[in-house]
């Protein structure tokens, strides 16, 4: 029953995407016959006014019609240009929620249930929603005890149940694509849905977002020009966050910032340096830094809100990023290439000097331009395209970084069209290189190596015992062979036959349902 329900839901989604002219925009080359037939139908049924719109607008309208889970899918896929392509990822990165807010009475009910306190004991007043998105909405309130003005973010009713239901459809679609399109296998569509599932579960527990605010607040407390709201943990739960109110001008309102006499050039530098500092120094960055999530307060500080999506980089990834950026700044392409090999991102059977030649093909044209036209985000995009030739595996954390850098750099250039990305980045990148790759960094690496060796020494008795047990099992298999019992063999056969059967049935069911919706 759940399989049929998923296919019906998938067919409905296909209908909406087709009507809004999204499906007809994608190429049909390489599709199996039923899918090609469905593609032709989609071209016929696309609404005339839909085909006159830009692709990004078509996607936005279709995903908003399908609901919160599909919006979240679109926003997630914007971070995966390796899956949907660079052009589609750019379109999806422009996707913003246009969801109607839910009522104040329901919001009050959810707050009370989440923190297990009567609302009139907490707030002296609470406003109607002032902002609404696919997962949650925000209210302005006043704390009863202190009179402090706060922002209260409340989870949308039913969003978790709706998402669980839609996830079944996403998994059905991923398995369908995996079985029917040979070239899609390398993109691991089921793994992509797994990542979306995990990401959304984290975003829908507002305690985790509160923890992200707390962590970033600690990391940036000494930083000039950047801060995040403070969380009130007493009035925060799974379904709501209470945090300090941000009074300021959105970074998207450039004219208002100019009228308030804010230094736009200084703001653009602060924005990019803050992002790079969070990425390199802390290994923890805000991964949804569109201008609607960034405010400028009366002091001129940038205040970031909505930390539902965050990115993390380990020390190796941070070193990788810093060395690449610094190598391009200094035009040391062999160094950039060697970093890829040292990090294990490019397989060792390739030649490092040939890879350096490919890197030079990216760097030299950029250095031929004026500094204010060079895009670091474009450089990373070209870099990842070149590395595909050298079998570099997809690195999701680097793709999220690339997507965020595209957005942050775009915001900086709206503030200052002549923004010099390299000049702004060099102090942060250079300082990180000096600290972490100089003598102090070598000492820190040595200390970590000693710590790791001590931990390994503590584990040696357990490892020796496990090795002994493994050796005994291996000897047993060598002597007696590895055997599967009849029940296991039969189950494997049935599962394989069932999977093949459903793969073919799925193609025709979806095509039939689309045709039925057209002619009914």
List the beta bridge partners of residue 226: 302
Phi/psi at 328 (nearest 5 deg)?
-70, -40
Q: In the chain, what is the straight-line distance between the N-terminal and C-terminal CA atoms, in Å?
A: 24
Of the candidates 405, 411, 341, 353, the one whose C-alpha atom is nearest the C-alpha of residue 379 is 405
Of the candidates 377, 288, 257, the one whose C-alpha atom is nearest the C-alpha of residue 96 is 288
Q: Kindly give, in sequence order, each residue whose CB lies less than 8 Å from that of residue 87, ignoring residues fewer than 6 positions away.
A: 55
Q: Kindly give, in sequence order, each residue whose CB lies less than 8 Å from that of residue 149, ignoring residues fewer than 6 positions away.
A: 140, 141, 142, 245
Active site residues: 288
Cβ atoms of 224 and 269 closer than 8 Å:
no
d(CA 255, CA 27): 41
Let me know if 213 is exposed, middle or buried by CB neighbors in 10 A (0-12, 13-18, 19+).
buried
Of the candidates 93, 90, 81, the one whose C-alpha atom is nearest the C-alpha of residue 385 is 81
Distance of CA 332 to the CA centre of its chain: 30
d(CA 380, CA 400): 12
């Amino acid at each position: 029953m759940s399989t049929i329900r998923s296919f019906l839901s998938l067919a409905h989604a296909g209908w909406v995407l087709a009507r809004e002219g999204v499906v007809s925009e994608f190429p049909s080359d390489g599709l199996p016959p039923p899918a090609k037939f469905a593609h032709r139908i989609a071209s016929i049924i696309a609404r005339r006014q839909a085909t006159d719109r830009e692709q990004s607008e078509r996607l936005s309208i279709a995903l908003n019609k399908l609901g919160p889970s599909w919006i979240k899918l679109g926003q997630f896929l914007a971070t995966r240009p390796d899956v949907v392509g660079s052009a589609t990822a750019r379109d999806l990165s422009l996707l913003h929620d246009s969801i109607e807010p839910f009522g104040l009475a329901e919001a009050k009910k959810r707050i009370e249930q989440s923190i297990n306190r009567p609302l009139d004991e907490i707030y002296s007043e609470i406003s109607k929603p002032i902002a609404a998105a696919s997962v949650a909405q925000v209210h302005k309130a006043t704390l009863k005890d202190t009179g402090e003005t706060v922002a209260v973010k409340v989870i949308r009713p039913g969003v978790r149940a709706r998402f669980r239901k839609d996830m079944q459809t996403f998994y059905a679609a991923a398995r369908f694509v995996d079985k029917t399109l040979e070239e899609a296998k390398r993109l691991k569509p089921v793994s992509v849905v797994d990542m979306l599932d995990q990401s959304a579960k984290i975003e829908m527990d507002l305690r985790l977002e509160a923890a992200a605010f707390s962590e970033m607040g600690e990391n940036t407390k000494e930083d000039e020009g950047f801060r995040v709201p403070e969380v009130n943990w007493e009035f925060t739960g799974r379904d709501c966050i209470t945090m300090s109110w941000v009074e300021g001008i959105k970074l998207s309102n450039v004219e208002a910032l100019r009228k308030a006499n804010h230094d736009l050039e200084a703001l653009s530098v602060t924005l990019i340096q803050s992002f790079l500092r969070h990425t390199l120094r802390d290994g923890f960055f805000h991964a949804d830094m569109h201008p609607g999530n960034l405010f400028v307060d009366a002091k001129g500080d940038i205040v970031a809100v909505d930390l539902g999506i965050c990115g993390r980089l380990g020390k190796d990834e941070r070193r990788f990023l810093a060395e690449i950026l610094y190598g391009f700044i200094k035009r040391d392409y062999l160094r950039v290439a060697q970093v890829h090999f040292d990090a294990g991102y490019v397989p060792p059977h390739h030649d490092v000097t040939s890879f350096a030649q490919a890197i030079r093909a990216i760097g030299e044209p950029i250095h031929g331009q004026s500094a204010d036209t060079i895009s670091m985000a474009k450089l990373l995009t070209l870099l990842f395209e070149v590395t595909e030739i050298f079998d570099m595996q997809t690195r999701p954390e680097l793709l999220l970084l690339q997507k965020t850098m595209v957005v942050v750099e775009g915001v900086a250039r709206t503030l200052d069209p002549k923004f010099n990305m390299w000049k702004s980045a060099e102090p942060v990148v250079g300082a990180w290189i000096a600290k972490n790759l100089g003598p102090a960094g070598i000492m820190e690496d040595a200390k970590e190596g000693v710590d790791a060796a001590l931990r390994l020494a503590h584990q040696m008795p357990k490892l020796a015992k496990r090795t002994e047990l493994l050796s005994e099992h291996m000897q047993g298999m060598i002597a007696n062979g590895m055997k599967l019992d009849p029940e296991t063999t039969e189950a494997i056969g049935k599962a394989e036959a069932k999977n093949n059967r459903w793969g073919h049935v799925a193609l025709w069911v979806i095509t039939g349902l689309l045709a039925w919706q057209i002619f009914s």
